[in-house]
A and B are shown apart, each in its own frame.
Chain A
Amino acid sequence: MSDGLEARLRAPLKERADFAEVLPGGWGSLPPVDLARNLVYLEQSGATPVGELFDLSGTPGGRIRFVGKLDRANRLAAGLSEGTVIVEGSVGNEAGLGMAGGILDIKGNAGIRAGAAPPGFKRGMLGGELIVRGSAGAEAGSYMRRGLLVVTGQAGDRAGLGMIAGTVVVGGATGSGAGLWSKRGSIVALGAISPPPTYAYACTYEPIHLRLLLRRLRGEYGLPLQRRHITGQYRRFSGDMAELGKGEILQWTGN
């Protein structure tokens, strides 16, 4: 099996850039020479082929690894529907915007609106798994319809804003307004969280499905989840009561 492609940034980006068209549908089978023709939109310099910014190598195999300082790269893996995208560092805003499948694994931080809905769209992530092994900015996973977003560090304000379904797991503290206006879906908070006033406490219990989910995240991605998280007790808050009230915040109790 191929290790896939590697995209190594030649020089740090000097301006913000839109990467939304770098990984279109079917990208997983593109050889480096073809992928190099896709365009990155630099904020001031305009459209630039990927090949001018990155050294591309490897053989296609549904997997790509981005190496370099990409914290000015916005919308990386936006609309992703297949394959595995690994970022060896931090990324800019709107990573995995509206992604529908595949895996986006960010080894550093993500900016605002990771896995959120594209502007003008009512639905954010439609599927796939977005892993942020650092912290994420505001509105991560907003309007998620399906899929999984994991932030091992802190999540900014309004994580899971307007969620329709799906799951957001936050390892560190979660900012204010988490799950506001959600219809369904789960926010799993392993760190501090203050559920919005439109969420109502239901009970403290052990959700068995979290055993499956957290064990899988530990096994599949090597995330630093402890036994006490996996077998722990969780406070369940139902909300948003201003909406359907079928969503939930599961707050780890610490034991």
Chain B
Amino acid sequence: MPPSRSDMRIREVFIEDTFAEAFTMRVARVIITAASSRWVRAASDKLTGFATSVIGCKVEAGVERELAAKETPDGRPGVSVLLMTMGKDDLGKRLIERVGQTVLTCPTTACYDGLPEAPDRLGVGSALRFFGDGFQSSKVIGGQRFWRIPVMEGEFLVQEQFGMLKGVGGGNFLILARSGDAALSAAEAAVDAMDTHPGVILPFPGGVVRSGSKVGSRRSKTMIASTNEAFCPTLRAVTQSALPEGVNSVLEIVINGTDGAAISGAMRAGIDAACRDGVVAISAGNYGGKLGPHHFHLRQIMAETVG
């Protein structure tokens, strides 16, 4: 018989009756290919670098999944990357900057749109083509225009336009553990379980955040975010702590996705994997439900697993 929702536990790990609060963002999917997976990784590592949170970065980005050669437009190894911004106008600018500086520059790469059905289009190749200084040329293949930009190595091929959709950013859950080692092991297991879920990225380092934040600051009017003291174990004695007894370390997993269903699915897999020895509870970050339109209720999401 499954446990009641009033006391939901998964393998003895308490699932708090709370929700993750997430925001509508704009998302683009970029497909990078290269001569080998080495150079695919080289490009995608740079493309998704310094792109953890719009709090301090202009874009949130991550690798959605690696692509086998048979899945890519040119039959070479590839990767699918999601880039997300809060505003419509930002996304095009960020794509041009990042593809231009990190993919165009990387040996053997080509860059394609991964959202061909999206009605909103962003001119990326159409802007980057000017690097060709008049020597660039275009080809229309299967109704899509591609730009061939001459570079010292040969040619950089980039699709003229990239699709843009509404996505969801800020899905999350918190792993409340007895020790730092237990929190890290659980977080790693969660990330591994979510890795293969299509339509989501985990934009933080290794998919994990150790510095969950609250809105604003006690000490500064200009800071838009500061440490979430309620979840800091070292501050238990001097703050109104949200931590249950026995919790000595907390890690957060932040999930962005192309839609709410993708995030729910990834959260379900991640939370289930994180419920292991040494973990006391799973919680989530929210702002009281007043800021973000997307609410991911942990117990609703996990009801299927528990049932």
Contacts and interface: CB of A to CB of B under 8 A. Distances in A.
A205 interface: yes
A209 B146 contact: yes
Contact of B157 (A167, A208, A216): A208
Interface residues of A, number: 19
Contacts of B154: 203, 205-207
B75 A209 contact: no
B75 A215 contact: yes
Contact of B139 (A206, A209, A231): A209
Contacts of A246: 137
B140 interface: yes
Nearest to B139: A209
A154 interface: no
A184 interface: yes
Nearest to A185: B137
B73 to A, nearest CB: 6
Interface string A191-207: 00000000000010111
Contacts of A209: 139, 141, 146, 148, 155, 157
Contacts of A78: none
Contacts of A180: none
Contact of B141 (A146, A206, A213, A231): A213
A65 interface: no
A110 B155 CA distance: 34
A80 to B, nearest CB: 16
Contact of A213 (B76, B139, B155): B139
B142 interface: yes
Contacts of A231: 75
A248 to B, nearest CB: 8
A74 interface: no
B140 A211 contact: no
Contacts of B148: 207, 209
25 contacts: A146-B140, A167-B139, A184-B137, A186-B139, A205-B154, A205-B155, A206-B154, A207-B155, A208-B74, A208-B110, A208-B155, A209-B146, A209-B148, A209-B155, A211-B73, A211-B74, A212-B74, A212-B146, A213-B139, A215-B74, A215-B75, A216-B141, A216-B142, A220-B142, A246-B137
The 4 A-B residue pairs with the shortest CB-CB distance in the complex, in nearest-first order = A211-B74, A208-B157, A205-B154, A212-B141
Interface of A: 146, 167, 184, 186, 203, 205-209, 211-213, 215-216, 220, 230-231, 246
